Structure 1
Amino acid sequence: MRTTALRRVVAVVPLALLGLLAPSPSGAAGAPAAAATPVAPAAAVPGAAEPTGTVTWTVQPATADGPDGRVSLRHVLDPGATVEDHVTVTNFGDRAATFVVSAGDGTVSDGGDFDVLPGDGSPQDGGAWVRLTPPEGVQADAAGRLTLTLEPTAAVTIPLTITVPADARPGDHPAGVVAELVDDDAGVRLEARVGTRVHLRVAGDIAAGVVADDVRARWEPSWNPFTPGTVHVSYVVRNAGDVRLGARSTARLAGPFGAGAATRTSEVREVLPGRSAAVSAAVPVWPLLRASGRVAVTPLVVGADVVDVPLDDTSVAVAVWTPPWAQLLLLLVLAGAVLLAVRLRRRSARRVQEQIDAALAAAGVAREPAPDASTTGTHGA
């Protein structure tokens, strides 16, 4: 949240339901592409005026007649091809609201949710191929964005045209269409957006694969000598192909000769082409001086996507020193205890002997000298 002297409050709502569960290529019916998202009323801001109502809205795939039940817009196109489609923006709120509708490039957040890059920048990929056609009475600005004012329960269907450049790279080019609420009521501006995902794939020869990059390992010993320490393995899963993929990665480490092997498995739901997702794994490892192993990555097809090229597993070696500090400390303590016990025993024996000598002296009994090994032995006749 950021504020200015004009009490401008910005609340960004992530596009959590933008077709994350990929539909079949035919566009099977399912949940709406972007669920209606309520906006916090102005009264949530200290000192703000009482709200005049709440706004709940949605953006859904549609035909010219309205929403058609698809989860997202999905098209496979040849380079240079064009296709037409529609989205419907509906205001389910109890008051009129103004929305800015735009298309943008798709991205995946650190949390794994699909989103559309902010509309204040020019799209550079699939979002730039989507052109919205203004409905009657609406004008588009220089960036192609539409500003709509909808009465309560009103809806408007917006035609759009997707044109693939002739030199477009084969593969996936994610995009989305979003409707952003612009609410200046009572001097408080709330900005939030929901939208629908646009799956764009350019036909042609593609490559598909995911790899682990920038693999790092850090040893964290346990100060309990009877439990293993932890190797923290961090890396990024990079999509090295042309289509979106998920990934299952496994970090496996073991001591010399495979002793004490342990594994940790992680999954990444979706990595877009050319993008990466950070992964970390805590692997329990016994301190056998050095641990080594591999980080293996298995590519996964997302949803009902079709990937008709081989998907090969990849792996990267990893190694780390695992000095047994706690165990060495325990050995030092045990060795010190043994030395101390021997020393105390000798001291105790010496004190007992001194007491015996003192008692003999008090009784007038001379202590026999200890036999001298140099004077003992058998003498010849």
Structure 2
Amino acid sequence: MLTRNIRSAVLTAAVLLCSAVPALVPAAAAEPAAGGPGWTAAPASGAGTRPSADGRPYFYLEGAPGTVLEDTLALTNPGKKAVTVRLRGAEAYNTASGGSALRATDHSWITPAARTVKVPARTSARVPFSVTVPTTAEPGDHPAAIVAAAGGHETGVRVQLRVSGPTLSALTVEDVRIDKGRGLIHYTVVNRGNTALTPHLDIRTEGPISGAHHITGRTLPVELLPGRRAQLTEKWPHPPALDSASVHLAVTAGGGAHGTGSASAVFVPWWRLAGAAVLVLAGTGGWFAVRRRRLRGKGDGTGTGTGSGPDPYEGDSSTRDMTYTDSEPATAGAAT
């Protein structure tokens, strides 16, 4: 087996040879769009582990720890001036919102045959590169890219790299919470396995008043890489106005990955209740005011003596008709 230094020298010679004898770009090839980079980078046809008749959208490489994998990048310059393109390898990762991005530092596994390639006008250059898989590499997916930059523009060609060995597809749904004010459902999906996942989401809600509803079922526009997490948000189209409702999330992905999460919230229209409370208090206050005035009216004109006040015995006829007699008994007969 060639040593790494010899292999690198061979790759460098290959790219220089390809650049020295460039392939002419077909006359029918379209000129790049105005404001575009004026050149393209893509997997070379007829190379790699998964070539196809209509070209490869990305590189796919697979090997065991300790192996060296090889493929070829095609740089095409349809313009009228030569272009100098800089190449490097970069590791892919997920942003906090689940988007894909590339590290600014060079990937230690990927080595282009040449870091800088000059592509003459209306020609293509084929640039070999190698991927050295460390002996300590863990099995599973290790997404990366070949980054090409020239003239202030940068583009990445995806390298789907898999290290041979056992694979596991697993995910969890965490930190589910409800934003009642804006009708939003926030949650986090975490890739707990070693394969890249494209999650599918299902959300249902239920409440004693609003009942059960299916909100959404769709594939998320996210490729979640191994060990990464994504903080996502879904719109709750019609949250209940008055209910104690709960939301249940189920996320699935290829390979049998499955995760669930839930949260609940009490929906109370406080502004409506406050308005009703004001009306109740106003009505209650008015009733007490009327009651107080009536009681005061009944108290007027009451007093003592024989004035025109009410009869103290009014309503009690048994007391008013009673006849009083002496308490001493009459003496029998007359004294003589």
Is the pair's TM-score, using the shorter chain for normalization, greater than 0.5? yes
Question: How far apart in 2 are the matches of 1:197 and 1:370?
Answer: 107
Using a 3 Å threshold, how does the CA distance of structure 1 residues 180 and 377 change in structure 2: closer, same or farther?
farther
Equivalent residue letter for 1:97 = V
Task: List structure 1 runs of 4+ shifted beyond 6 angstroms.
Answer: 64-68, 369-374
Question: How far apart in 2 are the matches of 1:288 and 1:174?
Answer: 47
In structure 2, the partner of 1:171 is 140
Deviation per residue, 1:295-341 (Å, 9 max, x gap): 32222x3xxxxx4xxx1422123233434413312321442464477
Residue 329 (1) aligns with residue 274 (2)? yes
Using a 3 Å threshold, how does the CA distance of structure 1 residues 334 and 79 change in structure 2: closer, same or farther?
same
Correspondence for 1:233 among 182, 185, 199? 185
Q: How does 1:24-35 map to 2 (within 5 A)?
A: none
In structure 2, the partner of 1:365 is none
Larger radius of gyration: 2
In structure 1, the partner of 2:162 is 201
Question: How far apart in 2 are the matches of 1:285 and 1:198?
Answer: 43
Q: How much has 1:97 moved relative to structure 2?
A: 2.2
Question: How far apart in 2 are the matches of 1:94 and 1:206?
Answer: 48
In structure 2, the partner of 1:375 is 314
Percent of pairs with identical residues: 28
SS in 2 for 1:206: coil
Q: How much has 1:80 moved relative to structure 2?
A: 2.2
Q: How much has 1:76 moved relative to structure 2?
A: 2.4
Q: How high is the TM-score relative to the length of structure 2? A: 0.67
Residue 276 (1) aligns with residue 229 (2)? yes
Asked if the contact 1:55/1:93 (under 8 Å) is kept, the reply is no
Question: How far apart in 2 are the matches of 1:371 and 1:95?
Answer: 122
Using a 3 Å threshold, how does the CA distance of structure 1 residues 335 and 374 change in structure 2: closer, same or farther?
farther
Unaligned runs of 5+ in 1: 1-34, 41-53, 135-145, 184-190, 221-229, 302-306, 354-368
Deviation per residue, 1:69-98 (Å, 9 max, x gap): 111111222222232210111112232222
Question: How far apart in 1 are the matches of 2:111 and 2:197?
Answer: 27
In structure 2, the partner of 1:57 is 39
Residue 83 (1) aligns with residue 37 (2)? no
Unaligned runs of 5+ in 2: 1-29, 298-307, 322-336
Asked if the contact 1:240/1:273 (under 8 Å) is kept, the reply is yes
Question: How far apart in 1 are the matches of 2:312 and 2:121?
Answer: 115
Asked if the contact 2:32/2:78 (under 8 Å) is kept, the reply is no
Deviation per residue, 1:140-194 (Å, 9 max, x gap): xxxxxx112222212210111222222211110001112101x3xxxxxxx2212
Using a 3 Å threshold, how does the CA distance of structure 1 residues 335 and 94 change in structure 2: closer, same or farther?
farther
Q: How much has 1:379 moved relative to structure 2?
A: 5.0
Alpha carbon RMSD of aligned pairs, Å?
Answer: 3.7
Q: How high is the TM-score relative to the length of structure 1? A: 0.60
Residue 133 (1) aligns with residue 113 (2)? yes
Greater shift in the superposed pair: 235-244 or 322-331? 322-331
Equivalent residue letter for 2:65 = P
Residue 105 (1) aligns with residue 110 (2)? no
Equivalent residue letter for 1:375 = E
- Count, aligned residues: 271
SS in 1 for 2:274: helix
